[in-house]
């Protein structure tokens, strides 16, 4: 199996960390292809230790695996060092970490601009993680970004930061009434930081393609999720990169013909953090119950996640735009104890029935979910290890999700533990 893509099928936080773990041992490389330290993957190692990863690929916890921060990622040097050293302090070997020379850097002015922009947007804010992600990608596309390779050439770095700061300082001072950043201080700080990872900077695109030629398997690990994709998500309430499967090829330098499996991680209900439309969101005690039982608090920012019922329109949309071969369904156990479990099968928009993702932002904002109720179950699922051990109602729920989304569920999570997963031949 040459290259596998693993992506979130909803708004992120579907439990990708555990999914990566499930594939353990099947790959020699793990690549992050987009996003930055806005992500948060919780991974539990075989010895039961919990790790919250933000920027570094989750394969870092598996000895012998090579971990690549791909060209599509935006790297905050300070966050990288902090995470890398934090892992080392806990005895994790980080020698297998490699960083693409083409990845862009998140500079201090990106973080400053992210935060002030959000404040200026007021009620229209995106609810970003405040990590400078949007401004860094903005500079990349505007062709005024600073790349990891620039850290290897002080003169070029100085020139690029000088050019960037000329405009950024005007914006910070004149528009946002903030302090200007000092050129030498910015350059000296990143240069000093780069000494801690300069030996990791390589042409990862070449190495990955050579690995594929040797028949090695690569796991392309997406962060965030389909509906946070800047092209296919709920724009403008999205992140600034492409978590969808197509982004995996661009953000790693691997050709799309090399990818033969796309796994979508799908939560048995829906959550999102930050602002933006969310048709099945529950504002009542049921939403509170899902948040509590599901432990729906952001790994990275500590924010409470908004919670709601499963939305099959979104699941079907994710299957389509990513070319999903199979889903890993997570957190089915959280739904135990309900008389009935509603599934959103379509929307009512201004008197029209709609089964697919609305074309306009206005329609999505006006979408009222149409629910189908499935019988609930009261049994604790946490000890189930085969599909047949699940109560009939839970099995029916899973089978209905398969029908509605159009893709098979090859794994089902029934608890946070490593072994609390049911795998199925599909
Ligand atoms: P940004 O990525 O920090 O620019 O934030 C843009 C939007 O993406 C906000 O709604 C964030 O809450 C959301 N977001 C970013 N990273 C994650 C993640 O890892 N999980 C869930 N939501 C995320």
Give yes or no for a contact between 131 and 37, defined as CB atoms under 8 angstroms apart. Answer: yes
Mean pLDDT over the full length of the chain: 95
Confirm or reject: Cβ of 126 under 6 Å from ligand 1. yes
Q: Report the pLDDT value the prediction gives residue 1, as an integer from 0 to 100.
A: 62
**Ligand 1 center from residue 77 Cα (angstroms):** 19
Kindly give the distance from the C-alpha atom of residue 126 to the centroid of ligand 1, in angstroms, as a whole number: 9
Give the closest residue (by CA) to ligand 1 atom 10: 274
Mutate to test the pocket of ligand 1, among 273, 299, 304 (most ligand atoms within 8 A of CB): 273
pLDDT at position 138 is 97
8 Å CB contact between 40 and 299: yes
Q: What is the CATH number of domain 104-194?
A: 1.10.300.10
Q: Which helix (H) or strand (E) holds 389?
A: none
72 neighbors 33 (Cβ within 8 angstroms): yes
> Does 299 or 289 have the greater pLDDT score?
289
Q: How many C-beta atoms surround the C-beta of residue 352 within 10 A?
A: 9
Among 214, 267, 248, CA closest to 2 = 214
What's the rounded Cα separation, in Å, for the pair 52 and 39? 10
Q: Is 228 in the pocket of ligand 1 (CB under 6 A)?
A: yes
Residue 21 has pLDDT above 80, yes or no: no
Q: Specify the pairing of strand 218-221 against strand 259-267.
A: unpaired
Residue 88 has pLDDT above 70, yes or no: yes
Lowest mean pLDDT among 116-125, 151-160, 197-206, 231-240: 116-125
Q: What is the pTM of this model?
A: 0.96
Cβ count near 362 (within 10 Å)? 12
Q: Which of 45-49, 85-89, 360-364 has the lowest mean pLDDT?
A: 45-49
Between residues 39 and 280, which one has the greater pLDDT? 280
Residue nearest to atom 19 of ligand 1 (CA): 39
Distance of CA 33 to the CA centre of its chain: 10
pLDDT tops 90 at residue 306: yes
Q: CA 342, CA 268: separation in Å to the nearest integer? A: 11
Distance from Cα 128 to the centre of ligand 1, integer Å: 6
Report the distance separating Cα 29 and Cα 184, nearest Å.
37
Q: So what's the pLDDT on residue 24? A: 67
Do 240 and 134 form a contact (C-beta atoms < 8 A)? yes
Among the listed residues 190, 197, 224, the one whose alpha carbon sits nearest the alpha carbon of residue 38? 224
Mutation test of ligand 1: which of 239, 270, 271, 305 has the most ligand atoms closer than 8 Å to its C-beta?
Answer: 239
Tell how far the Cα of 11 is from the centroid of ligand 1, in angstroms: 8
- The separation between the first and the last C-alpha atoms of the chain, rounded to the nearest angstrom, is 17
Q: Whose CA is nearest to atom 15 of ligand 1?
A: 38
Give backbone dihedrals phi and psi of 4, rounded to 5 degrees, phi first. -120, 135
100-157 pLDDT tens trace: 999 999 999 999 999 999 988 988 899 999 999 999 999 999 999 999 999 999 999 9
Residue 379 has pLDDT above 70, yes or no: yes
How would you classify the pairing of strands 29-32 and 259-267? unpaired
Residues annotated catalytic, as ranges: 13, 41
**Cα distance between residue 147 and residue 140, in whole Å:** 9
Q: Do domains 3-100+201-264 and 104-194 have the same CATH topology?
A: no
Using the atom order of ligand 1, give the atom closest to the CA of residue 303: 12
Name the closest-CA residue to atom 12, ligand 1: 274
> CA 326 to CA 293: how far, in whole Å?
26
pLDDT at 40: 82
Query: Is residue 101 within 8 Å of 61, Cβ to Cβ?
Result: no
Q: Is 134 in the pocket of ligand 1 (CB under 6 A)?
A: yes
* Nearest one of 346, 351, 353 to 369, comparing CA atoms: 346
- pLDDT (tens digit, 9 = 90+) per residue, 170-179? 999 999 999 9
Q: How many CB atoms are located within 10 Å of the residue 392 CB?
A: 9
382 pLDDT exceeds 80? Answer: yes
Q: Among residues 19, 421, 11, which one has the least CA distance to residue 220? A: 19
Helix (H, G, I), strand (E, B) or coil at 27: coil
| pLDDT tier for residue 245 given thresholds of 50, 70 and 90 | very high
Q: Name the fold adopted by 267-423.
A: Adenylosuccinate Synthetase; Chain A, domain 3 (3.90.170)
Ligand 1 touching residue 253 (CB < 6 A): no
Check if 117 has its Cβ closer than 6 Å to any atom of ligand 1: no
The finding on whether 39 has its CB within 6 A of some atom of ligand 1 is yes
Say if ligand 1 is within 6 A of residue 40 CB.
yes
Instruction: State mean pLDDT over 416-425.
Output: 89
Our answer on whether the CB atom of 74 is closer than 6 Å to any ligand 1 atom is: no
Residue 300 pLDDT more than 80?
A: no
117 C-alpha vs ligand 1 centroid, how far in Å?
Answer: 15
Ligand 1: which of 11, 274, 305 to mutate, judged by most atoms within 8 Å of the beta carbon? Answer: 274
pLDDT number for residue 301: 80
Positive/negative CA dihedral, 215, 221, 226, 231: negative
Could you tell me the residue ranges of all domains in the chain?
Answer: 3-100+201-264, 104-194, 267-423
CATH 3.40.440.10 is held by the domain 3-100+201-264: yes
How distant, in Å, are the alpha carbons of 53, 130, 226, 244 from that of 125? Answer: 26, 11, 20, 23
> Cα(274) to centroid of ligand 1, in Å?
7
d(CA 24, CA 45): 10
For 328-349, what is each residue's pLDDT tens digit?
Answer: 999 999 999 999 999 999 999 9
Q: Which residues pair with 156 in a beta bridge?
A: none
Mutate to test the pocket of ligand 1, among 7, 41, 55, 129 (most ligand atoms within 8 A of CB): 129
Instruction: Kindly report, residue by residue over 256-295, the tens digit of the pLDDT.
Output: 999 999 999 999 999 999 999 999 999 999 999 999 999 9
């Amino acid at each position: 199996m040459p290259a596998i893509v693993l992506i979130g099928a909803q708004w992120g936080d579907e439990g990708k960390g555990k999914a990566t773990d499930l594939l353990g041992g099947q790959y020699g490389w793990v690549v992050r292809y987009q996003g930055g330290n806005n992500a948060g993957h919780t991974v539990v190692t075989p010895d039961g230790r919990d790790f919250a990863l933000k920027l570094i690929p989750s394969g870092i916890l598996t000895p012998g695996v090579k971990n690549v921060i791909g060209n599509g990622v935006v790297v905050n040097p300070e966050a990288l060092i902090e995470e890398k050293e934090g892992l080392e302090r806990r005895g994790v070997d980080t020698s297998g970490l490699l960083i693409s020379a083409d990845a862009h850097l998140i500079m201090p002015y990106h973080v400053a601009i992210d935060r002030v922009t959000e404040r200026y947007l007021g009620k229209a804010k995106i609810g970003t993680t405040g990590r400078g992600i949007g401004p860094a990608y903005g500079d990349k596309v505007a062709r005024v970004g600073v790349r990891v390779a620039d850290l290897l050439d002080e003169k070029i770095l100085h020139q690029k930061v000088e050019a960037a700061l000329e405009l950024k300082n005007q914006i910070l001072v004149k528009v946002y009434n903030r302090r200007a950043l000092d050129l030498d201080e910015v350059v000296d700080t990143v240069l000093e930081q780069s000494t801690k990872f300069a030996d990791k900077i390589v042409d990862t695109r070449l190495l990955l393609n050579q690995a594929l030629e040797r028949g090695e398997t690569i796991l392309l690990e997406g962060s965030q999720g389909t509906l946070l994709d800047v092209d296919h998500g709920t724009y403008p309430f999205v992140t600034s990169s492409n978590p969808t499967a197509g982004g995996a090829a661009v953000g790693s330098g691997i050709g799309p013909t090399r990818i033969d499996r796309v796994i979508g991680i799908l939560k048995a209900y829906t959550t999102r953090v930050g602002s933006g439309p969310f048709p099945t969101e529950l504002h009542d005690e049921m939403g509170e119950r899902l948040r509590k039982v599901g432990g729906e608090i952001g790994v990275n920012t500590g924010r409470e996640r908004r919670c709601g019922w499963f939305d099959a329109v979104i699941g079907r949309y994710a299957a389509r735009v990513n070319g999903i071969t199979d889903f890993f369904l997570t957190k089915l156990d959280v739904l135990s104890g309900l008389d009935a479990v509603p599934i959103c099968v379509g929307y009512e928009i201004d008197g029209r029935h709609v089964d697919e993702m609305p074309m306009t932002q206005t329609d999505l904002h006006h979408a009222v979910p149409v629910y189908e109720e499935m019988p609930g179950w009261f049994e604790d699922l946490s000890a189930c290890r085969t599909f047949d051990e699940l109560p009939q109602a839970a099995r029916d729920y899973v089978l209905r999700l398969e029908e509605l989304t159009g893709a098979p569920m090859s794994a089902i999570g029934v608890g946070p533990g490593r072994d609390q997963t049911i795998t199925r031949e599909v």
